[in-house]
Amino acid sequence: MKFFVDTADVAAIAELNDLGMVDGVTTNPSLILKSGRDILEVTREICGIVSGPVSAEVVAMDAQSMIAEGRKLAAIAPNIAVKVPLTWDGLKACKVLTGDGFMVNVTLCFSANQALLAAKAGATFISPFIGRLDDINLDGMELIGDIRTIYDNYDFRTQILAASIRSANHMKDAALMGADVATAPPAVIKAMANHVLTDKGLEQFNADWAKTGQKIL
């Protein structure tokens, strides 16, 4: 499973990229707001750090404006994936932008039917929102499984990009369900390394090492 990092924090992206933990980046208007930077400037900088897809989201509501915004965003760098919402206008924009040869990430997916439409429209990525479904007592991982089955039934090439990831368990479950990609905040990706037994083991090793009175350096 590929790891995308869900942030516009350039320093956090660079740190994870140096460790080989970044296959791409996803941004959205909320993350751009949090960064406090110009969307074109920060997106261009991110594209210079990572070689994989960098999702940049349109903000228009109608198809023609989405297409115009998408083309402007795609001009930033060759690895831009234009992010459009899963609305009827968003699907129209997806069809045109993929026809232009651009990568398109169709976001805010909450049903298997929506994912099927996105694949038919030629989406490069479909982004089902796991955490937001869990918030309303629906099983986000069940949606990942349903999309995986449908896409495999018909050999759709659209990649399943599990989004709205809230925990390390979400990352594990997305991998088990066969998601092609999971996008998560830097803190969640780092949390995957944590385990109470690892901490306990290190504590014991360090205590025993101190008793030896030895040094390596």
Known catalytic residues are 83
Alpha-helical regions (H) of the chain: 10-18, 29-35, 39-49, 63-74, 88-99, 112-120, 130-135, 140-154, 168-177, 186-191, 196-212
Residue 91, classified by CB atoms within 10 Å of its CB into exposed (0-12), middle (13-18) or buried (19+), is buried
Token readout for 215 is 């040094």
**Cα(79)–Cα(152) distance, rounded to whole angstroms?**
26
What is the C-alpha end-to-end distance of the chain, expressed in Å?
A: 38
**Cα(44)–Cα(106) distance, rounded to whole angstroms?**
21
Radius of gyration for the chain, computed over Cα atoms and rounded to the nearest angstrom: 20
Contact between 136 and 110 (Cβ < 8 Å): no
